[in-house]
Structure 1
Amino acid sequence: MKLTYFFSLITSFAGLLNLSSCTSKVEQKAENPLETKPNIVLIFADDMGYGDLGVYGATQWKTPNLDQLAADGVRFTQFYVPHAVCSASRAALLTGAYANRLEIFGALDHSAKHGLNPEETTIAEMLKQNGYATGMVGKWHLGHLAPFLPTEQGFDSYYGLPYSNDMWPHHPEVKGYYPPLPLYRDTSVIDTLDDQSMLTTNYTEEAIKFIEQNKDEPFFLYLAHSMTHVPLFVSDKFKGKSEQGLYGDVMMEVDWSVGQVRQKLEELGLAENTIVIFTSDNGPWLSYGGHAGLTAGLKEGKGTSWDGGIREPGIFVWPGHFPAGKVETQAAMTIDILPTLAEITRSKLPDLPIDGRSILPILEGKEMEPKPYFAYYNKNELQAVIYGKWKLVLPHTYRSIPEGTEMRNDGIPVKYHMLTLDKAELFDLSLDPNETTDVGADNAEILAKMNQFAEEARADLGDALTESEGTGLRKHGRIE
């Protein structure tokens, strides 16, 4: 006993002097609460294209703050969402599970009687159980009725819109269907919006207020911008500032917002101990022409499982932990964020099964074995499988803009037409990111492997296209 006590004293003293070479990295983290409970800021844009940031190819507007974010951390070139539509994408992000597993499809509106099941564990609930203050600012879209609001899903506070900002009386195609657009604080409607020009600014101010109020304890801030979803609105600060027009102005204001949040973290001395993550829910809504973002040449956009609809900017920053300026080509998905944060913060994973995995090794500059990812759309249609550089697109019908269509720049969409992919096609995304050339005939072994992944997904999650019923499905929450 005396020998053990003596050894304990020696080890503790060496740790204080930072001289111990035998203490593992995990043990060192356990002794430093700043490393095991970093602050977390998750910024989620809406309908932003893969090519909308300067570091991803944008040239008609400037995004200096987002470009700096990428310079300070890890920037993925193959970062995905599993669903190219609002509610489903958000459910997957916050739970680490495919939204079809949770029975969340499409985009919920004011008439929905259901939402994310309270039995599911969100990132906020996971971190709250581990001593974090949790706050949400922005677009929720996982149920507007009382049992499904953010404050019932692990968030201490909420300020924002319950669903998409186009779900209001001024919708260009369904005038009169939607009620006035409600703005919430916690569980109460505090206003209805007839003008959204200050929305990004107000979100930013609320985000900064949350950081200031919780600067002395670990916090999780989920900032889910309504922009760049149509209808586009921008404050006078950025009106007319871009070469492109209104969409570029809006992008510049979102970029400004990111800069304001990071500046506040710096002012409060929190930047070194804060993880900042930036991505978006799906690709650009191409039918809106000049009011839609850029895919950087990727095929199709929002509402499709081609890469233009599901590949997004993905940036992760944690000073001193994630390498700065790292361009990461390994594939990852938003369902990986929850388990990654769980590993970093040593939080308990949800009791119910999830689909993501921790990508902390990738973020630390290491290689990981590829993982199959699945893209689902409509009501449980398995449309694509992604495995490293490979992508198998399965037979399905998808929307596209007819060739030769004259695009608009006034917030009014053009009409899609439907195309059908009759047979599965395999793409090598490292050589063909635009998904133009089927290489299945030359890669029989990988094609068989991808088809096996698809069969495993059908057995677990189901697939409406093949009338497969999955055994791992759960129910959403519902009020009758």
Structure 2
Amino acid sequence: MKGGGKALWKDENLADSMLTHAMKFMEDHKKTPFFMYFATNDVHVPRFPHKRFRGKYAMGLRGDAIVQFDWTVGQIMKKLCELKIADKTLVILTSDNGPVVDDGYKDRAKELLNGHSPAGPFRGNKYSAFEGGTAVPFVVSWPREIKGGVVSKALMSQIDLISSLGSLICARFPKGSVPDSRNYLPTLLGSDFKGRDYVIGQSNTHVLSVLTSQYRYIEPSNGPKMIQWGPKIETGNLPVPQLYDMMVSPYETNNIATEHPEEVARMQAILENERDR
């Protein structure tokens, strides 16, 4: 039996293929408002950047995939400029989870990090209940409306994009359709630096955490301390409550839950209220 040949693809060509479609879409819609979601495969595993990017970086295939991703973003921004719509186009660059270096593929990614910490000052990676598992980059560009070079520490969740962008285009949502999303358009546009009071995260083992501007709370769990397959990643699970002062200990090494029972109780109440909602 034969068939399905047209569905085959080469990983090395994914970036070019997706970019070609994106370029055409922007060309076709340059005279009207449009929404484009560009879900790049970089830097996800398996990492197979095009051969013209191979060997460009000391971090091996993962580094080459980052270079390819950087080039791809640059091509999109360049196209917006060529179409003379860059100033009036809102561009958001973000990710779906914290970094993961070793995700079960033997591409020497961890070995070739050379001291670099993909999660920055935070503990944990993708899958983890620690901050490194859910903290993601979030870069916003809209030259006509947003002042460049500003860094905001306001808390937001990606689920807030639904309500925030909906507000921008005066969209009306069916009642109850986006119960967890909040409108933080001023925060998104940099005119206000007050975001959420808290953000709730969930790890791969379904453990919930609460992040505020100062604290991170991780609920107790008897689950495994490490991911149960290839990657050597901490889950963040402990059988006792965890509370970290992110202003003092961003790497979450000093559990102060027993010292601040009132804060633990407040965090637990937040989770109980959300679960009952």
TM class, shorter-length: 0.7 to 0.9
Q: Does residue 440 of structure 1 match 2:266?
A: no
Distance change in 2, residues 1:318/1:378 (3 Å) = same
Task: Count residues with an aligned counterpart.
Answer: 262
2-structure distance, mates of 1:414, 1:387: 29
Task: Give the counterpart letter for 1:233 in structure 2.
Answer: F
Task: Give the counterpart letter for 1:291 in structure 2.
Answer: A
Which residue is 2:156 aligned to?
Answer: 332
Higher relative contact order (CA 8 A, sep 6+): 1
Q: Tell me, what secondary structure is at the counterpart of 1:287?
A: coil
1-structure distance, mates of 2:155, 2:234: 31
2-structure distance, mates of 1:414, 1:361: 39
Distance change in 2, residues 1:382/1:367 (3 Å) = same
Q: Deviations over 1:227-273 (max 9, x none)?
A: 21111011122111112111111001111111100100001111111
Task: Give the counterpart letter for 2:62 in structure 1.
Answer: Y
Taking structure 2 as the reference length, the TM-score comes to 0.85
2-structure distance, mates of 1:399, 1:443: 24
Q: Does residue 261 of structure 1 match 2:76?
A: yes
Q: CA deviation at 1:385?
A: 1.1
Q: Tell me, what secondary structure is at the counterpart of 1:257?
A: helix
Aligned-residue sequence identity (percent) comes to 28
Which residue is 1:371 aligned to?
Answer: 197
Q: Deviations over 1:193-218 (max 9, x none)?
A: 2x310111211111111100111111
2-structure distance, mates of 1:307, 1:417: 11
2:213 to 364, 388, 413: 388
2-structure distance, mates of 1:419, 1:385: 13
Q: Tell me, what secondary structure is at the counterpart of 1:223?
A: coil
Distance change in 2, residues 1:262/1:373 (3 Å) = same
- Equivalent pair of 2:210/2:216 in contact (CA under 8 Å): yes
Q: Does residue 242 of structure 1 match 2:57?
A: yes
Q: Does residue 291 of structure 1 match 2:106?
A: no
Q: What CA RMSD, in Å, does the superposition of the two structures yield over aligned residues?
A: 2.6
Q: CA deviation at 1:398?
A: 4.7
Which residue is 2:167 aligned to?
Answer: 343
Which residue is 1:320 aligned to?
Answer: 144
Task: Give the counterpart letter for 1:455 in structure 2.
Answer: E
Task: Give the counterpart letter for 2:98 in structure 1.
Answer: G
1-structure distance, mates of 2:136, 2:224: 19
Q: Does residue 304 of structure 1 match 2:119?
A: no
Q: Does residue 357 of structure 1 match 2:182?
A: yes
Which residue is 1:405 aligned to?
Answer: none
- Structure 1: runs of 5 or more not aligned: 1-181, 183-188, 403-411, 461-480
Distance change in 2, residues 1:286/1:267 (3 Å) = closer
Task: Give the counterpart letter for 2:71 in structure 1.
Answer: W
Task: Give the counterpart letter for 2:269 in structure 1.
Answer: Q
- Structure 2: runs of 5 or more not aligned: 111-116
- Equivalent pair of 1:391/1:429 in contact (CA under 8 Å): yes
Task: Give the counterpart letter for 1:365 in structure 2.
Answer: S
Task: Give the counterpart letter for 1:357 in structure 2.
Answer: R
Q: Tell me, what secondary structure is at the counterpart of 1:315?
A: strand
Q: Deviations over 1:80-128 (max 9, x none)?
A: xxxxxxxxxxxxxxxxxxxxxxxxxxxxxxxxxxxxxxxxxxxxxxxxx
Taking structure 1 as the reference length, the TM-score comes to 0.51
- Equivalent pair of 1:287/1:401 in contact (CA under 8 Å): no
How do residues 80-479 of structure 1 correspond to structure 2 at under 5 angstroms? 190-193=6-9, 195-288=10-103, 290-291=108-109, 294-351=118-175, 352-362=177-187, 363-368=189-194, 370-378=196-204, 381-396=206-221, 397-400=223-226, 413=230, 420-460=237-277
Task: Give the counterpart letter for 1:302 in structure 2.
Answer: K
Task: Give the counterpart letter for 1:447 in structure 2.
Answer: V
Distance change in 2, residues 1:432/1:320 (3 Å) = farther
Moved more, 448-457 or 285-294: 285-294
- Equivalent pair of 1:286/1:302 in contact (CA under 8 Å): no
Q: CA deviation at 1:422?
A: 1.1
- Equivalent pair of 1:200/1:226 in contact (CA under 8 Å): yes
Task: Give the counterpart letter for 1:201 in structure 2.
Answer: D
